[in-house]
């Protein structure tokens, strides 16, 4: 790596910016090489041209399954072997570095290389972060709690790189417990060990979520320009125990609840208690209404407000700004909110990537952004 990236003021910059993106056999792209600078990136073109595929490729530079939650086999080109690769040169707080990822040959497993050396996928959380909004998330506040939990956990991970490992440990223990219960006749001591793991990791997950929500709620209460202020919270049994009795007692209560629920969970085929059943709550502060009861445009504005607040909170807290991947983000925003969004994105340390079908909607950026036209899986400067 080179020396630390510094701002004009001489301080280390938290900016994370893609300078080169190379795709190989990814979705509709047989081969793509794109050079960019740290300014916001605007990708415009017709539906189906490949704009969202570019954002999805960028999302694989961060931990997780990407913005579509696709399997690794689905991401490869249909007429190819199923193998694919995403490589990037990025500027980060510690300088310029190379990051690559792709499907391991013959396996449903991701390979990750950092500066040419193979590393575990978990290392991604330490060097790169991404946050996204997609049209599918326009229904986030009106559909089930699982989508809101995934969105929340992405926010938490941006603030706390250890959240992924704690969540994975909890989910592994939960899957193993469910498998043993379904099989029947499990050793009670082994079940108890798994329930102890679920209690320890589950309470840690709930605590990380609670701390992240508290920080983000404070940032969202004020609103950002014409984007509405929001009130954020958590609802769940484990969170209630934490508030009432603290972490040690919450662990004991979750262990006891899992022990008592074995027969019920065996019949249900899943754990019926734990932080995997909690909900992320969002209210439009100005109207004092749940976000799900607001208009489509207001819901979109609340989501944008949360994402912008997260970028600020994460950058200040971790010293690592996220890549913001905003798919069709201006679709439900009026002219005033579009202008405010462009101003905010231009002032953030975070590099943003935006897509749209109408280039005129992004004209308010002017020279503050870089523009590319996407057509038939090709990308050219506009």
pLDDT at 114 over 60: yes
pLDDT at 322 over 60: yes
pLDDT at 25 over 60: yes
pLDDT in tens, 227-256: 999 999 999 999 999 999 999 999 999 999
pLDDT in tens, 164-216: 999 999 999 999 999 999 999 889 999 999 999 999 999 999 999 999 999 99
As a whole number, mean pLDDT of residues 102-123 equals 89
pLDDT at 27 over 70: yes
As a whole number, mean pLDDT of residues 321-335 equals 93
* Domains defined for the chain, CATH in brackets: 1-129+328-382 (3.40.50.300), 138-319 (1.20.1050.90)
pLDDT at 374 over 90: yes
pLDDT at 4 over 70: no
The pLDDT value recorded for residue 102 is 96
The confidence band for 105, taking pLDDT boundaries of 50, 70 and 90, is confident
The confidence band for 2, taking pLDDT boundaries of 50, 70 and 90, is very low
Give Cα separations from 109 to 62, 101, 116, 120, 174 (angstroms). 15, 10, 18, 11, 21
The pLDDT value recorded for residue 28 is 95
The pLDDT value recorded for residue 360 is 95
The pLDDT value recorded for residue 12 is 54
| 315, 349 Cβ separation under 8 angstroms | yes
As a whole number, mean pLDDT of residues 49-78 equals 94
As a whole number, mean pLDDT of residues 148-173 equals 96
As a whole number, mean pLDDT of residues 325-351 equals 94
The rounded percent of the chain whose pLDDT value lies above 70 is: 97
Give me Rg for the CA atoms of the chain. 22
Beta partners for 324? 131, 352
pTM of the predicted model over 0.95: no
pLDDT, mean over the chain? 93
pLDDT in tens, 249-284: 999 999 999 999 999 999 999 999 999 999 999 999
SS3 sequence of the chain: CCCCCECCCCCECCCCEEEEEEEEEECCEEEEEEECCCCCEEEECCCCCCHHHHHHHHHCCCCCCCCCCCCHHHHECCCCCCCCEEEEEEEECCEEEEEEEEECCCCCCEEEEECCEEECHHHHHHHCCEEEECHHHHHCCCCCHHHHHHHHHHHHHHHCCCHHHHHHHHHHHHHHHHHHHHHCCCCHHHHHHHHHHHHHHHHHHHHHHHHHHHHHHHHHCCCECCECCEEEEEECHHHHHHHHHCHHHHHHHHHHHHHHCHHHHHHHCCCCCCHHHCEEEEEECCCCEEHHHCCHHHHHHHHHHHHHHHHHHHHHHHCCCCEEEECCCCCCCCHHHHHHHHHHHHHCCCCEEEEECCHHHHHHHHHHCEEEEEECCEEEEC
| CA separation for the pair 154, 134 (Å, rounded) | 14
| CA separation for the pair 206, 149 (Å, rounded) | 11
As a whole number, mean pLDDT of residues 30-34 equals 97
Tell me phi and psi for residue 257, to 5 degrees: -65, -40
The confidence band for 80, taking pLDDT boundaries of 50, 70 and 90, is low
The pLDDT value recorded for residue 104 is 80
pLDDT in tens, 122-146: 899 999 999 999 999 999 999 999 9
The pLDDT value recorded for residue 272 is 97
Of the candidates 292, 311, 299, the residue with the CA atom closest to the CA atom of residue 352: 311
Q: 285: which 2 tokens?
A: 């502060």
């Amino acid at each position: 790596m080179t020396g630390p990236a510094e701002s004009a003021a001489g301080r280390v910059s938290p900016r994370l910016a893609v300078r080169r993106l190379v795709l190989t056999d990814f979705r509709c792209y047989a081969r793509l090489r794109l050079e960019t600078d740290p300014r916001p990136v605007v990708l415009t073109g017709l539906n189906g041209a490949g704009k969202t595929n570019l954002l999805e490729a960028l999302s694989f530079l961060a931990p997780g399954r990407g913005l579509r939650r696709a399997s690794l086999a689905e991401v490869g080109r249909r007429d190819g072997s199923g193998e694919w690769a995403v490589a990037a040169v990025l500027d980060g707080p510690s300088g310029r570095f190379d990051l690559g990822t792709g499907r391991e040959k013959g396996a449903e497993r991701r390979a990750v290389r950092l500066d040419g050396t193979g590393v575990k996928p978990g290392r991604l959380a330490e060097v790169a972060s991404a946050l996204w909004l997609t049209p599918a998330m326009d229904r986030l506040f009106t559909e089930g709690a699982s989508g809101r939990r995934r969105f929340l956990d992405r926010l938490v991970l941006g603030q706390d790189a250890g959240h992924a490992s704690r969540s994975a440990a909890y989910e592994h223990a939960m899957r193993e417990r469910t498998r043993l219960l379904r099989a029947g006749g499990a050793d009670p001591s082994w079940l108890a060990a798994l329930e102890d793991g679920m209690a320890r990791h589950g309470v840690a997950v709930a605590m990380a979520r609670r701390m992240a929500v508290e920080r983000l709620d404070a940032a969202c209460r004020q609103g950002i320009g014409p984007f509405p202020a929001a009130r954020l919270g958590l609802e769940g049994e484990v969170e209630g125990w934490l508030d009432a009795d603290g972490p040690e007692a919450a662990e004991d209560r979750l262990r006891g609840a899992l022990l008592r629920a074995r027969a019920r969970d065996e019949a249900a085929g899943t754990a019926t208690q734990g932080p995997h059943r909690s909900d992320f709550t969002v209210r439009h502060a100005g109207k004092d209404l749940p976000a799900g009861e607001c208009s489509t445009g207001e819901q979109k504005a609340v989501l944008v407000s949360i994402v912008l607040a997260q970028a600020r909170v994460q950058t200040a807290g971790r010293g690592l700004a996220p890549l913001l991947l905003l798919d069709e983000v201006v679709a439900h925003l009026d002219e005033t909110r579009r202008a405010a969004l462009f101003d905010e994105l231009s002032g953030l340390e975070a590099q943003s990537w935006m897509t749209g079908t109408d280039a005129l909607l992004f004209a308010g950026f002017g020279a503050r952004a870089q523009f590319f036209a996407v057509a038939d899986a090709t990308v050219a400067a506009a």
